[in-house]
Each structure stands twice: as structure tokens, then as C-alpha cells.
Amino acid sequence: MNQAVSLSHIPVLSHVRRNHALEHATIQVLSERHRDLRVAGRSSLWGFYLYGQVGSEEVLAAAQEGLRRLRQGQSQMALHRNCGSNFVVAGTLAGLGAFLVIEGIAGRPKSWIERMARLPLACAAATLGIILAQPLGPIFQARVTTQADVGDLRIVSVTQENKAGLTIHHVRTEG
């Protein structure tokens, strides 16, 4: 069975993945409107949080626009180049590559000197992992961490709070 298909049949995961897609779409709409915008997001079962200096009305309008565009089939709105999923894929591939070079492929080195001799190759393997992550990160987002088909997802509310000078919006969803 296709992994993405099985993930969409688990209601809790499907809801988080759809919220994650809406979070990305909202950030993309906000970024289209504000070239130098600096925001971050975090999805949950109940919606998503947006961290950054943006007004509540603007967040609501961007979320509604993002939801509309996802429903129109603009599935690329569900993906974001700065998503943490991309960084996880890059870190995993880089770390695995370095580990395999230093500890695995040619047998475990017997001394610290032998380990250090493998360091340049480990750096090359890590770099290759980061390069491979460039196309694999978005694929991972599309198939595992987001779901562009938002179905009956709807925005229920947008609330704002300020903590230590940081503006936090909670976009609550249902469906």
C-alpha cells in the first residue's frame, strides 16, 4: 500500500497534514503581500500557530486565500522551501552519510587517527546528503507531512497573543 494513501486514512494525521498545508499556503500568501516578511509556523491537530509581526485581520485574510487556492487545486501552496521537514530530510541524509563513512562501510576504525582520516570523506558524504535532500525534502512534504487536498477543512477563528514581544496567532480549524 502506498504510504501517502495510508496516512490520509488516519483521521488525526490527515487533519494535522491538512493544517500543515494551510499553514504553508497562509505563509505563502502573506509572503506575496510582504516581500520581507519574517514569520514561522507550527501545525497541530487544532490548526496552526503563526509567529511574527502580522495583524490578525491580515492572517485571517491570508488563511482564507490560502484555503481557497488549495481548494482550487494549487497544490504547490502546500509546500514551503523553509519547512522544517526539508531540514529534517537534509539533516538525516547528511548525518547518515557521515556516519556510514566514519563507522560503517569499511568497518569500524580501530583508532582515533583512522577516524580522523575518514573525516574529509564524511564531509563529502554529508554534503551529498544535503544535495540529495533538495529534491527529496519537497517530496517528503507532499507525501508525508502535508496534504494539499484539504477536503472540508474550515477556518473557525484567529486569535492573537503577545509573549515577550513576540506576536503569536492561533488559526483554529475544523473539518
Q: Which residues contact 135 (CB under 8 A, 6 or more apart)?
A: none
Rounded CA separation 26/164 (Å): 24
pLDDT band for 1, please (50, 70, 90 cuts).
Answer: very low
Please give the single-letter amino acid code of residue 162. Answer: N
Over range 116-143, report the average pLDDT: 95
The radius of gyration computed from the CA coordinates of the chain, to the nearest angstrom, equals 20
Query: What are the strands of the beta sheet with 154-163, ordered from one edge?
Result: 40-44, 47-51, 166-174, 154-163
Residues 6+ apart with CB under 8 A from 175: 151, 152, 153, 154
- For residue 13, the number of C-alpha atoms closer than 13 Å in the C-beta half-sphere is 11
In sequence order, which residues have a C-beta less than 8 Å from that of residue 55 and are 6 or more positions away? Answer: none
- Report the pLDDT averaged over residues 157-174: 97
Q: Which residues contact 124 (CB under 8 A, 6 or more apart)?
A: 101
pLDDT at 95 over 70: yes
Q: Which residue has the cell 517530496?
A: 139
Residue 173: half-sphere exposure toward Cβ, Cα within 13 Å: 29
Its sign, for the CA torsion 50, 54, 60, 64, is negative
Q: How many CB atoms lie within 10 A of CB 6?
A: 10
Domains and CATH numbers, the chain: 3-79+146-174 (3.30.980.10), 84-143 (no CATH)
Contacts of 92 (CB under 8 A, 6+ apart): 129
Mean pLDDT in the chain? 93
At 2-48, the pLDDT tens digits run 554 566 678 899 999 999 999 999 999 999 999 999 999 999 999 99
Looking at the whole model, is its pTM more than 0.85? Answer: yes
Of residues 104 and 130, more confidence is placed in 130
Residue 89's CB is within 10 A of a number of other CB atoms, namely: 25
Least confident window among 4-18, 59-73, 92-106, 121-135: 4-18
